[in-house]
Amino acid sequence: MSHIIKRSLRAAFVGSLLAGAIVPQALASSHREAPFITKSPKIDATDFYMFRSYETGRANFVTLIANYVPLQDPYGGPNYFQMDPEALYEIHIDNNGDAREDLSFQFRFTNTVKDAKFTVGGKQVSIPLVINGGAIADINAAGTNVRETYAVTVVRGDRRSGTRSSVTHATGGSATFDKPIDNIGKKAIPDYQAYAAKHVYSVTIPGCSPPARLFVGQRKDPFVVNLGETFDLINIKAPAIEFLPNAERNAKDDLADKNVTSIEMEVASSCLTSGSDPVIGGWTTASMRQGRLLNPTPPSNGAPSKEGGAWTQVSRLGMPLVNEVVIGLKDKDKFNHSKPSGDSQFADYVTNPTLPALVEVLYGSAGAKAPTNFPRNDLVAAFLTGVKGVNQPAAVTPAEMLRLNTSIAPTAMGAQKRLGVIDGDNAGFPNGRRPGDDVVDIALRVVMGKLCTINLGCAPADAPAGALRFTDGAYLDDSFFTAGFPYLKTPIAGSPQQ
C-alpha cells in the first residue's frame, strides 16, 4: 500500500470513526461498551472530561475527570462500589501532537478491612457491613469498617518506562490519600457533601507548580441520555426539534438515578503543555495483570486470587461513544487494548461509514438525509486532528482522543453554551469536554453535517440535513453541576430516608 493510500485510509478512519461514534444507536457514552469489560465493571471507564477550570480564580488550571464503574445503583450494598486494588487506572496527556503519552497520572488503590466486631453471647464476631453503626463525618472515621486509600504516580514519557515520581499532600508530604465511602444514606453519613469535601486534597506534583487539587470518590453520574429508546432502533419520538415542539426536553434521562466513581485532578495548565503549543490531547485507560490464579480456599482477610505478570490494558476512553457504535463486536476488546498511535488498524470498519445512513433509513422521509462527502473531512477536523484555529496542535498525528486548547479562556458557569463550539462557545466540546456539554446533541448534529453548513471540511450541498437540530431528547447544560471543583454533584443516597 502506498504512503498516499495509507494516509487516505487514516483520514477515512478518522472521519468514519467519529461519524459512527456520534450517531444515536448506543448513546451510553462508554458504559459496558465491550464484551470483556462487562466482566470487570470496576475498571470500565464511562466518561472522560478535560476543560479549563471555570471556578472563580482557577482559570489557569485544567480539570481532568475520569469516571469508572458504570450504572451504580445508589442502594447497591452491602459492599457498594470500591475500586479494584488489582488494577491500574491512568489519565494520559499528549502535549506534542504525536498520539503518544508525554505525561501520565497513575492511580493504585488499597482496600483494608478493619474487621470491626460485635460482642454476641460473649463472643467477638466480625460484622458483615462496611460500616459498624457509628455516624460517619471524617476521613477514615471510626464508623467505617473498610478503609479505601490510593496513591498517585506521575510518569513523564512512556507510561511503562518513563521517569516516575509520587504525588503527595501539599502539607505533610504523605503519598497516601483516603477515598470516601459511597453515599449509603443520611443515617450513616448525616452530611455527605461535607464529608466528601474533606477528601478534596491540595497536592504537590513534582516539577509542577502551583499545587494541584485531587479528589476520588462517588458522584452523581453526569452523563445524560435517553438510553432505552436509542437502543431500541432509535425509537425516539422525534430525532430533530423540527419534528416535535420542545424535543430537546421531551425524553427521560435514563441515568438520572445512577452514580459513578470519579477520579479528578485540577492541574496548572503550564504543567500539562509543552513549549509554546497550548493544545493538549488526553485519554484514560485501565489495566489488569496478565495472570490470575484463583484460590479455592481463601483465608480470612486473604486474597481470593493471585494476580501477576505485566500490566495489560483492557479499557480505553477519549472521545465518547467510539467503541460502542464503530468497532465491530469481535474487535471491541482489541480497541480497548489499543493505543491512539495505532488507530489506523481499525480502518476496515470505518472507511465507508454506515451509521449515518441508519438515520437516513429510519428518518429520511422527514428530510434526515445522510451527508454525501467521503471521506468525512469535517469529522477529521472536529474529532481527530482538532479544528484549525480552535484546538489543532502545531504538529498532529491523527488519533482518537480529546483535544483542548488551554489558551482559550473558560466560559463562566451560567454563560456556557451547552452545544459548545457549534453554538459559538469555543471553550466547549469538541475543544475538550465540560460536564455541561450536551455531547449527544452536539454529536448528532455534527455527524449529520452541521460543519458542512459552515464550510468546514465540506460544503453545505454535502449535507442535506446539516441544518436540522438533532436531539435525543434528554437535556443537559451547566446548571446540572456545581460552580467549582470537583464540579460533579453529590451522589444519590442509597437510602430514601432523607
The answer to whether residue 343 is domain-embedded is yes
- Residue 112 shares a structural domain with residue 202: yes
Per-residue confidence (pLDDT) for residue 446, from 0 to 100: 87
- Are 67 and 133 in the same domain? yes
Cβ-Cβ contacts under 8 Å for 166 (sequence gap 6 or more): 151, 152, 153, 154, 175, 206
C-alpha–C-alpha distance, residues 317 and 209, integer Å: 28
Same domain, yes or no, for 380 and 249?
yes
Task: Say what the pLDDT of residue 16 is.
Answer: 31
Element (H, E) at 324: helix 322-325
Peptide bond into 78 cis (omega under 30): yes
203 and 123, same domain (yes or no): yes
Considering its fold, how many domains does the chain have in total? 2
Q: Is position 360 within any domain?
A: yes
- Terminal Cα-to-Cα distance of the chain (whole angstroms): 65
Asked if residue 215 lies in contact with residue 463, where contact means CB atoms within 8 angstroms, the answer is no
Per-residue pLDDT of the chain in tens (498 residues, 90 and over written 9): 333 333 333 333 333 333 333 333 334 456 676 667 778 899 999 999 999 999 999 999 999 999 999 999 999 989 999 999 999 999 999 999 999 999 999 999 999 999 999 999 999 999 999 988 888 999 999 999 999 999 999 999 998 899 999 999 999 999 999 999 999 999 999 999 999 999 999 999 999 999 999 999 999 999 998 877 766 666 776 667 677 778 888 888 999 999 999 999 999 999 999 999 999 999 999 999 999 999 999 888 778 899 999 999 999 999 887 667 666 678 778 878 899 999 877 654 544 556 777 788 877 777 889 899 888 888 778 878 899 999 999 999 989 899 999 999 999 999 999 999 999 999 999 999 999 999 989 988 888 899 999 998 899 999 999 999 988 889 999 999 999 999 999 999 999 765
Q: Which three cell numbers stand for residue 76?
A: 447497591
Whether 425 and 280 map to the same domain: the answer is no
pTM assigned to the model: 0.91
Per-residue pLDDT, 329 = 75
| Identity of the residue numbered 386 | G
With respect to residue 494, please indicate whether it lies within any of the assigned structural domains: no
Distance, CA of 438 to CA of 445 (rounded, Å): 11
For residues 486 and 264, give the distance between their C-alpha atoms in angstroms, rounded to a whole number: 7
DSSP assignments along 434-461, one per residue: -TT--HHHHHHHHHTTGGGGGTSSS-GG
Residue 10 domain flag: no
148 has which bridge partners?
Answer: 111, 179
**Are 160 and 93 contacting, i.e. CB atoms less than 8 angstroms apart?**
no
Please check whether residues 237 and 148 belong to one and the same domain. Answer: no
Q: Are residues 192 and 238 in the same domain?
A: no
Q: Range of 390's domain?
A: 223-257+320-479
Give yes or no: residues 449 and 381 share one domain.
yes
Q: Rounded to an integer, what distance in angstroms lies between the CA atom of residue 399 and that of residue 343?
A: 6
